[in-house]
Every structure is written in C-alpha cells, then in structure tokens.
Amino acid sequence: MEVEGMKFIAAGLMFGLAAIGAGVGAGVLSSKLIESIARQPELEDQLRPTYFLGIGLVDAVPMISVGLAFYVLFVA
C-alpha cells in the first residue's frame, strides 16, 4: 500500500478513536457526577467546578488528536 493511503487511514483512526474516547470519558464523568449529587446533594456546589475541569481535560485530548491528524495529513 502506498504511503499516501496510509496517511488517510492513520488520520481517520485518529479522528475516530479520539471521538469515541471523548464520548466515553464524558459519559462516565457525567454519570458519576449525577450519581454523586444524588447521594449527597449538599456537595453539588463543590462537585460542579471539578466536573467542568474534568470535562475540559477530557475534551482537550480529541482536540490534540485532531491537530496531530491534520499534521499527519498535510505536513508529514
């Protein structure tokens, strides 16, 4: 297989796996937030900022992967 075709396969895998990983991570994080608020509602004000920080970090990984995929496609 030629190198150009392998670049497209690699970029597609990077896009797809990053999206799947972010979706799973955000889902698990959200479910645990809801579960912990249901158990102790008085801690909601303390849990919410931590949740937003975690979601931001979970969403940062696919953005980095998209940047690397574009690098593989257009530069490498």
User: CB 14: neighbour CB atoms within 10 A?
Assistant: 21
Residue type, 31: S
List, by residue number, the catalytic residues. Answer: 59
Q: How far apart are CA 39 and CA 11, in angstroms?
A: 42
